[in-house]
Amino acid sequence: MRASPGRIRIIGGQLRNSRLDVPDLPGLRPTSERVRETLFNWLTPTLAGVRALDLCAGTGALGIEALSRGAAAVQFVEPERAVAQALGDNLVRLKVAAGEVAAMDAIRFLHGSPQPFGLVFIDPPFALQLWTPLAQRLEQGGWLTDAAQVYVEAPRGLSMELPSNWAIHREGHAGEVRYALYRRFRHLPLS
């Protein structure tokens, strides 16, 4: 359910129909248009003015879609230099000043000085199994606002340990991919 390498399209907001160049590299899986459309329909009521963090950003499609639809700023984190360069080039070409790219490993980034984000995208390369360490570092490191939302994309059926104060808000499946939006509570939600 992934777009093929080459070019993908921003599907909504000010940058609607803009194309992103996608390097042809192993393991790079841009989130499909169908999944992005569903996700951003879920996020629409809370997206305006939010600061977002796109970990393991890849093409940056999720973060750029958020900027296109009203997010105030997005921090992109991408360890592969060629992919980070392509992402930066796309931001320049699209004249997106509110996006910043850090060309580094997501875990290393999260060991830096925390800045709270209201929206985080976690969509690492599936082979790296980074969901649990990224989630734990986000929660323990001061990277989330009290009511942050966290999007997680992972293989369908994967068991992962997410913080107990993250409650599932919405979820779906596309082929072998499960995608879910979690809401963070400062304290554990009541059952």
Domain ranges of the chain: 6-184
pTM over 0.75: yes
Per-residue pLDDT of 31-81, as tens digits, reads: 888 999 999 999 999 999 999 999 999 999 999 999 999 999 999 999 999
Q: What is the CATH number of domain 6-184?
A: 3.40.50.150
Banded model confidence at residue 21, pLDDT cuts 50, 70, 90: confident
- pLDDT at position 4: 41
Query: How large a percentage of the chain has pLDDT more than 70?
Result: 93
Mean pLDDT (the chain, rounded):
90
Contacts of 123 (CB under 8 A, 6+ apart): 29, 31, 55, 56, 58, 62, 151, 152, 153
